[in-house]
Structure 1
Amino acid sequence: MDEKFIDAGTPTRRAYLKSGSALLAGGLLTGCTGQSGSESETESADATTTAKETETEAAATETTAEDTGYSVSMSPVGEVAFESIPEDVMVYSLLYADMAVAFGHGDAVNSLGFDSDAGGRTLDAYYDRLDGVSFDREGLAQLNNGSSDISVDKELLYELDSDLHLMDPALAVSFDGWEQSDIEEVGEQIAPWFGNVYSRAHSTPPEPYAENYEYYTLWELTEKVGAVFQAEARAAELKAVRDDLVETIQSNLPPEDERPTVGVVIFMSDTFYPSKVNVDGFATSHIRPLGVQDAFAADDVTYETSYDYETMLEIDPDVLLHSFCVASYYDVNDIEQTLAEHPVGGELSAVKNGRVYPSGNPVQGPIMNLFQLEMTAKQLFPEQFGEWPEYEGGAYPEIPEDEQLFDRQRVADIVAGN
């Protein structure tokens, strides 16, 4: 599916802005990496000291920024200058809403893109497991007009009168009715653009952005948006949580020949739409680190590929992960029942063995990524990381504290700025 369906540099008038773990039984890392308790405690103390030093430096940087302004650079927008932290922000893609919340500025978001309600529900599902973290989506403008021709009304951007358009201009220029002159007009007359979404799958953006477009990891994007909100310390701390989580997972994976084949799909109208796992882009950053065998690794698999039941049975992945199933567009239980009742679908190994699981949103921000990494590890490797509980929709399931793969309170404290 196209980027606009999936969420989906010169100073301007508003470029100078007006306003200013708990681990499994006995501990996975301690038991499997040979670290003693004292070594772990020393490293933890060192990390705490480093974090405090980083926060002190960040605070000094923010004070200076309030006095003198600052700038942040990212492809394809180049360098964008800020007088102070933006207080009213247009957001299209869900990953940037998640970043705003992560940096303590969720209340600055004034809009969401393709479906503000579904996207908001997904964020709620994860934030419900973090004390004090929430996202108020009431009253948010829905940017997409909902027609078959995916677009955004330029006049709505004038009405929002944002301090910043936290959106990739290369995505905006792909919309129906938009030209490069519209991108320049909005940037000059309202506020600058700042976003990069084609890093999602390293797909080619439209002209005139294609030639020099740069791709970033999710955590490189997080760092850059953190700089926009003058929250570099929070970005670094969240990445440290993610790095610990990935290390926990990768140090406990079974040998490659014992790992399941995995198919990531969207299922609609008796048709399977597959996605590759082991490819670049932040869309797979919750699955790729697990090193699984990709059931759809063939070169001819693109977002336009579709399979019927018979073709899926020929491929027959050990596990099926269905995207957009965490408080979003699809109900994995209904899908599993539909497959089980079909004469061919019921023969799929994943269906017969009860291994059809809800997967998350590929347009994921940093907090979403932490939960989606944990979720996928449990779904694919229950013996190593604990069973994934039955999911009935709504909030992310309660995981017993001794089976959580990252520290919820640590994340909540980071978001709170503690």
Structure 2
Amino acid sequence: MDTARKLGRTRRQVLAASLTVGSGAIAGCISGTEREDSDGGDTSGDPYSVNMAHIGDVEFDTVPENAFVTFPQYADMMVALGHGEAANTLFSPEMAGPTMNGFYDHLEGVEFEWEHLTNPLENGLKEEQLYDLDSDVHFLDPSYILTTEADWEESDVDEIADTIGPWFGNFHSGVHSDPADAYADSYEYYTLWELFEAVADVFQERERYEALEAVYDDLRSRIESNLPPEDERPTAARVTLAGDEFYTYHLNISGFWQADTRPLDAHDALADYDWDADWGVLDYEAMADADPDVILHHWGITPQYAIGDVREQLEDHPVGSDLTAVETDRVVAAGMRYQGPLMNLFQLEMTAKQLYPEPFGEWPGHVAGEGYPDIPADERLFDRERVADIVSGSS
């Protein structure tokens, strides 16, 4: 496959380019290029390229206005960059959309309109759908397609990139899993914020990225400088309860799925367990052997789960009721692994309070059907107003 990929030029894109030269999305100066807001103004319109290791240099004629989105981290990145309206699809929108807006409710002027979006992976990825959407860019890792979609071959992936728009994504950085054979020699793993940087370059929004990264760096520094000594940190298990089984995840391994737990450096109660897939499955007896001080219930802050119901299921189980985290009321609603930069800020704050209430303030709990809870101003770990100003472009 060619390492340099030209953005597919459909009839719609050619027409759009001829009509919109000179328009831009947000006022500001990015890498020396003058741009103005969506009401009109000058922009250079010069082609540019962005690199993703296993895809190569992806060239764009103009900033994407119509983006195929699967996993919510890319939608969150687009919202953070002021381009959320460009999303034309979303994985599990009824779960991801309300969860994202539950965070954004605390950022004045920031919201994500998700209700019209459909899940492109619900019935398998279809070429016909991609042609109908006619997207400027596809935020999905082609390696994910080849490892999960039996009907797709590398030639199909290449055809979509050549005739519609390029692929841009990195799935296997989630837990540093193995990529498809076609990309094994060139695949590289990225952190969440490195991926965000690449997406920011796709949208030519480096100033926004750098400003948000500064907020993140301050948050990380605040957390790391206030962690208790290692021997005073709790053991924790990141799990999802499903019937009589726990879907399990590690806390501190490499990968952006752990971007909200690894910086907290708690003791992983499941560190001695290993699994070949991206997650494991353990029964109640294994969980009793691990017996974590804190159970971080994965997806617990989403509409898919009610943390009160989870606690009741554990309390009603003869083994679950004896778990230390159940007895001490430390079964808490954790976030989503598909987190972008804005979600990561909130989920880091949330997890810090859940694991270490003394230095970071008590976690107020989560109520099913509601968004991220209100945190008293003097107990917030990052500046909401600063983040909102960056996202809105007023900073």
Give the whole-Å Cα distance in 2 for the aligned partners of 1:227 and 1:62: 15
Kindly report structure 1 stretches of 4+ aligned residues shifted beyond 6 Å.
none
Q: Does 1:313 align with 2:288?
A: yes
Q: 1:299 and 1:211 mapped to 2: Cα distance?
A: 29
Contact 1:275–1:301, Cα closer than 8 Å, also in 2? no
Map 1:210-225 → 2, pairs under 5 A = 210-225=184-199
Aligned counterpart in structure 1 of residue 381 of structure 2, from 401, 405, 418: 405
- For the residue of structure 2 that corresponds to 1:313, the secondary structure is helix
What's the offset of the Cα at 1:138? 2.3
Equivalent position SS for 1:111: coil
Question: 1:197 deviation in Å?
Answer: 1.5
The offset of 1:104, in angstroms, is 0.4
Counterpart code for 2:313: T
Partner of 1:23: none
- What is the TM-score normalised by the length of structure 2? 0.90
| Residue 299 of structure 1: how far off its partner (Å) | 5.3
Alignment correspondent of 2:30: 58
Aligned residues: 371
Is the CA contact (8 Å cut-off) linking 1:276 and 1:301 kept in structure 2? no
- Give the alignment partner of residue 48 of structure 2, picking from 46, 60, 70: 70
Matches within 5 A, 1:296-311: 296-298=270-272, 300-302=274-276, 303=278, 305-311=280-286
C-alpha displacement of 1:15 = 9.5
TM-score by length of 1: 0.85
Identity %: 46
Map residues 96-175 of structure 1 onto 2, 5 A cutoff.
Answer: 96-113=74-91, 115-146=92-123, 151-174=124-147, 175=149
**2:296 partner SS:** strand
Residue of 271, 275, 293 corresponding to 2:267:
293
Deviation string for 1:170-197 (max 9, x for gaps)?
1122313111111011111111111111
| Offset, 1:65 | 6.9
Counterpart AA for 2:6: P
1:242 Cα deviation after fit: 0.6
| Cα distance, 1:82 vs structure 2 | 1.1
The one-letter code sitting in structure 1 at the alignment partner of 2:317 is H
Q: CA RMSD in A?
A: 1.8
Q: 1:354 aligns with which of 321, 325, 329?
A: 329
Distance in 2 separating the partners of 1:214 and 1:304: 21
Is 1:13 the equivalent of 2:8?
yes
Structure-2 change in CA distance of 1:399 and 1:301 (3 Å)? same
Q: Structure 1 unaligned segments of length 5 or more: list them.
A: 1-8, 21-54
Kindly indicate whether the alpha-carbon contact (under 8 Å) linking 2:93 and 2:117 is maintained by their aligned counterparts in 1.
Answer: yes
Decide which moves more: 66-75 or 341-350.
Answer: 66-75
**Which secondary structure does the structure 1 equivalent of 2:32 belong to?**
helix
* Alignment partners' CA distance in 2, 1:289 and 1:210: 28
- The CA deviation string for residues 102-122 of structure 1, in whole angstroms up to 9 with x for no partner, is 000000000012x12211111
SS in 2 for 1:141: coil
Counterpart for residue 239 of structure 2: 265
Structure 2 unmatched runs, 5+: 18-26, 36-41
**Is residue 12–residue 187 contact of structure 1 (8 Å, CA) maintained in 2?**
yes
Flag the 1:318–1:123 CA change in 2: closer, same or farther, 3 A: same
Farther-moved stretch of structure 1 (301-310 vs 392-401)? 301-310
Deviations 1:343-367 (CA, angstroms, capped at 9, x unpaired): 1101000000000011111111000
What secondary structure does 2:96 align onto?
A: helix
C-alpha separation in 1, matches of 2:9 and 2:391: 27
How many angstroms apart in 2 are the aligned matches of 1:373 and 1:98? Answer: 15
Q: Which amino acid aligns with 1:376?
A: T
8 Å CA contact 1:271–1:306 kept in 2: the answer is: yes
Cα 1:241–1:105 shift into 2, 3 Å: same
User: Letter of the aligned partner of 2:200 in structure 1?
Assistant: G
Aligned partner (choices 371, 375, 378) of residue 395 of structure 1: 371
Name the SS of the counterpart of 2:33 in structure 1: helix
Does the 8 A contact of 1:277 with 1:284 survive in 2?
yes
Deviation of residue 198 (structure 1)? 1.0
Relative contact order, higher structure (CA 8 A, sep 6+)? 1
Residue 335 of structure 2 corresponds to residue 363 of structure 1: no
Residue 21 of structure 2: aligned partner = none
CA 1:307–1:67: 2 relative to 1, 3 Å:
closer
Q: Which has the higher helix share?
A: 1
Range that drifts further, 285-294 or 62-71: 62-71
- Are the equivalent residues in 1 in contact too, given 2:247–2:282 (CA < 8 A)? yes
Aligned-pair CA distance for 1:277: 1.0
1:314 to partner: Cα distance: 1.1
The superposition leaves residues 238-263 of structure 1 with CA deviations (integer Å, 9 ceiling, x where unpaired) of 11101100111111111000000010
Q: Secondary structure at the match of 2:44?
A: helix
CA distance in 2, matches of 1:209, 1:299: 29
Cα shift at 1:57: 5.0
